Structure 1
Amino acid sequence: MCQKCNDEMQYALMKVNEHKSIIIDALEVELMDDIYAGSKEGLHERINTFDSNTKLFNEDAPEKNVIGEVLVNPDFPDDIKEHIKNNFVEKLFVTYRPDKAFHEFGLISIDFEDNSKEDIIKFKAVIQTDFDVPKEDFCNAITGFVAYGNLSKFESLLNRDFVLSFHLAE
């Protein structure tokens, strides 16, 4: 699985271990390299440093209409549309941006296209965020995922069932 634009891959499927794979964004691969560089003793501190630099959710941030695709972890066994609608609307999400920081945003609402194929799940959503969202460009799409409250942002990245790949709607 990958999404290619001008010979550059944005998404790939990465095997974490024998029983777990994750969908990963090219920018997130750099994050992993930064976190795993150095000794194992400092690993927890490096993860905490990235978390402490997170751009927190701003309740006064503007709402933005976005469109995109849900990329599903192939290990996820259930109906992802129902999973998202029942568990993650009006929840906190996060993305790792080119400024080398996590940015939180809110998923206000999401609607799935009825004609989505099984492996391509298109959606329209309203998010609330301060960061810039690119227009009509899946080659530089935002990769959003659930920010689990009991996990670091990096651990949330490693444990996600899906990612929202999106850009501004027209």
Structure 2
Amino acid sequence: MAGRTRRSPSAAIAADPVAALEGRLGHRFAQRALLVRALTHASYAAEHAPAEPQDPLAFLGDAALGLVVAEHLVGAEPAAAVGRLTPRRAALVADDALARWAVTLDLGPLLRLGRGAEQTGGRATTSILATTLEAVLGALYLDAGLPAVRHVVGRLAGWHDGRVVG
């Protein structure tokens, strides 16, 4: 094919930030629209109909995250009292922790924000980053199920490949 240049896979990923995110997650989405929606803040959706906001995905991702974290904690300490596990779970799913994971995944630059959220520094806001991380987990759950969420959360938390440690 004379005259055509082929881009390397790394150049293609650089040109497609969503593909780069898929690489960081270790999951290629069959339903890529879910991942794009997970990156769409309500302020953007309000300004750009018919874009759909991330909120329902964040709701689902919060539930999946809570289950994965609880499962890990109980697997790691099956005899631990609930009073010991609850604060540990709360620390792992707190906005500050989730925002750090969002930064690790470099979600901020990928966010689709409305003008107001953009002007007030929404890309670096703890609550927006935490909600976006939850939305990404919700999208991951819908695309590939709980095992995929376990894997990603396990990697972010530094667990053994996302498997419950027993």
TM-score (norm 2): 0.29
The structure having more radius of gyration, on CA atoms, is 2
Q: Which has the higher helix share?
A: 2
Q: Which has the higher strand share?
A: 1
Work out which structure has the larger RCO, using CA pairs closer than 8 Å and 6 or more positions apart in sequence: 2
